[in-house]
Each structure stands twice: as structure tokens, then as C-alpha cells.
Amino acid sequence: MMGLDIGEGKKYKGKIKVAELEDGSKVEIPYFVMRGVKKHPVLLLNAAIHGDELNGVEVIMRLFEELNPMQIKGTIIGVPVVNVLAFRSRDRFDAIEKRDLNRKFPGKKNGNITEKIAYHFFNEFVKNADFGIDLHAGMKGHLLLPHGRARILKDYKPNLEYYQALGTDIIFYHDGEKGMLNITAGKEGIPIVCFEIGEADRLDEYYINEGIKAVKNFMRYFGMLDGMPEMPARQILLQGYIEVRANAGGIFYSGIKVGDVVKEGDIIGYIRKINGERVYLKAEKDSTVMGVRTLSAVREGDPIAWMLSFENAEILEIKKKVKTRRNKILEKAEKFIK
């Protein structure tokens, strides 16, 4: 990979060609490299596998502006926009192929454009990394709490220590699908952590800063930056996913925020129908709010909230010495966790 062998304290900007379009224009993935006082470990930071997920793009851009390479032990590869065609389309997928890039890894050298992007990204960047952080966001209108999302399959379970290193209050342990970057890389011995911050199609300073903080935590945890990472002494591993859907059509008024802890039967919002009638929604189980709909108009059946129940919750202890802070979710949730 061009740029990986640059000298100590240097930065490099480059592009790799993936394919050509109908008019002969090139499809290229831009990237940055920052070499510290040591070459290893190599950390990969990537965003916009789904082209409308912008917070992660900004996280990577700011880190490469802010970090001093002479204070880094190792190398950082930054790929702010992986799915360049979807990014141009200002959408989750490329407007022509409409394929989910995060189901296509490790890709195909001679496949369609989406498979080619997956192939070149995986072989040029992922395989040159020791570990990485894959930055995501909720879909349009889906605001998500900052959290690590550990994807699993029957034949694959990730090492949770890499997710813990982000320093989030919760980690979501969730079934994955074949072709996801985190699972495909993990099977090859390269831990790539999926990190969700905010929602698609919108930059948000709070979530950008949470992303920057998590990346720095990760780097400090694994010795790439001096200082101790800041994280809770204990984190919650949750896997009880509940999608709450609208039980009527109208305007949705949320009564919850991401990170709230609710008990079974609590009112989490209501829908006001056009005739003025209010239809209330209640929490199905004791849970924390992972995500909330930000689009007000709803049809019956539209998703309006995403909850993680405290059933089968597991408390994870941090394995290294860290600078601790409060885990507000855990403080509120301990009475629900058996």
C-alpha cells in the first residue's frame, strides 16, 4: 500500500483506483496515512461504508488535522469515505447498484462496482492494519446513542476488549450477517470495531466529539497515545434488541432521549392523529434507549424507537488501569439487572 512506508513523523495523502464508470471517469478511494515514532501497531479508521453517514467522516478529518504524528506510537490509516459512489449519491447505497457495501466483504476483484470497492478496500487497507474502528451512524431519522456494536455469527464471536477500549457505557452484542466488514476482518484475525454515533445525513458536534474521544480512548488503551483512557470502570453488554413501531399514523412526539433508562410500562411518547386523538406508546421491558426517531410524521408500523432490554445483561469489568468516570446508564439500570 502506497504511503505505509513513509518516514517517522510524516503524513501522506493518496488514492487507490477501484474501477471506471460509464463515461470513463475513475472510481477512487482517498486515504491518509500518519506515521508516528514507531511503525506498528497500524490502526485503520474508516467511515462512510454507507455514504450518508457523515459524523465518522468528520471524526477522521479532524483527527488527522489535530494529532501530532511525533506523539503517536504506530501508524494511522484514515479512509474517511469508503463508499465513494454512495457518498456522491448522498445516500446509504450507490444510486445505480443499490447494494449494501457492508454485506459484500471481502469483495470480488472482477465483480460489480460495489464488490470491487469492497475488494480493494479490504485488500489495500484492512489487510495492512493490526486493528481498526469502523465508524457508522443510524439511518436517516434514526438517532443512535454512541455505542460499540459487536456483531456475531454462529462461527464467529469478537474479542470484546477491543469494543471496551472505546470507553462507551454500553456495548450492543448483536447477530450479524455474512459479508459484514467486522465479521469478515475478524475471521482473518484483524479486529475491526463497529462504532455507532448519531444519525445519517447530518453533522452533529456532540456525536463528532464523542467519536473523537472514543478513538483517542482506543489509542491510549493500546499504547498508541500517552495517557490513560477515560472510561467507566464497568460497562454493560446488552443483547435484548426491541424495535418499537408506531401503532397509529400521525405526528410522533417523543418522551425519551437516547441513553434514558425506562421500566416496563413507562410511556415513551405518543402519536397525535390528524383528528386530534392521542395514542400512547409504552416500553415493553426494562431497558435503555439506544435510538429514537427524529422524523415526526409516521405511518402505522414505522419504527419510532430502538431499545436494549436488561434481560441477560452482563456487566464487564475493564481489564487495564484507566481513568474512570460515571456510567450513568448503569447507575440507573442496576436495579433491573439480575
Q: Are residues 248 and 224 in the same domain?
A: no
Give me the amino acid identity at 128. Answer: N
How far is the C-alpha of 33 from the C-alpha of 2, rounded, in Å? Answer: 9
Average pLDDT over residues 322-331: 96
With a pLDDT cut of 90, the percent of the chain lying above it is 98
The mean per-residue pLDDT over the stretch 253-269 comes to 98
- Can you give the residue range of the structural domain that contains 191? 11-236
Average pLDDT over residues 11-18: 96
pLDDT single digits (tens) 22-70: 999 999 999 999 999 999 999 999 999 999 999 999 999 999 999 999 9
The reply to whether 254 falls in a domain is yes
Q: Give the mean pLDDT of the chain.
A: 97
Say whether pLDDT at 251 is over 90.
yes
pLDDT, one tens digit per residue, over 116-157 is 999 999 999 999 999 999 999 999 999 999 999 999 999 999
Tell me whether residue 295 is in a domain: yes
Assigned domain for 183 exists: yes
Indicate whether 90 belongs to any domain.
yes
User: Could you tell me the CATH number of the domain that includes residue 127?
Assistant: 3.40.630.10
CB 218 within 8 A of CB 133: yes
Task: Specify the pLDDT at position 37.
Answer: 95
Pair 185, 226 in one domain = yes
Q: 190 and 272, same structural domain?
A: no
The pLDDT of residue 319: 87
* pLDDT for residue 4: 87
Query: pLDDT at residue 3 above 90?
Result: no
pLDDT of 275 above 80: yes
Q: Give the pLDDT confidence score for residue 215 in this predicted structure.
A: 98
52 and 131 housed in the same domain: yes
Same domain assignment for residues 60 and 195: yes
The domain that holds 298 is classified in CATH as 2.40.50.100
Whether 324 is in a domain gets the answer no
pLDDT value at residue 146: 98
Using the predicted structure, report yes or no on whether residue 1 has a pLDDT greater than 80. Answer: no
Whether 179 and 277 map to the same domain: the answer is no
Last residue of a domain, one of 188, 210, 236: 236
Residue 338 has pLDDT above 80, yes or no: no
- 291 in a domain, yes or no? yes
**118 and 39 part of one domain:** yes
Predicted TM-score (pTM) of this structure: 0.97
Buried-state track 153-167, b at ≥16 Cβ within 10 A, e below 16? eeeeebebebbbbbb
Give how many domains the chain has, as a whole number: 2
Residue 322 within any structural domain of the chain: no
Tens digits of residue pLDDT in 179-228? 999 999 999 999 999 999 999 999 999 999 999 999 999 999 999 999 99
In this prediction, residue 21 carries a pLDDT of 95
Residue 337 lies in a domain: no
Single residue among 209, 236, 263 that ends a domain in this structure: 236
Measure the CA dihedral 90/94/98/99, to 10°. Answer: -120
Place of cell 465513494: 84
User: Do 143 and 181 fall within a single domain?
Assistant: yes
Distance of CA 210 to the CA centre of its chain: 11
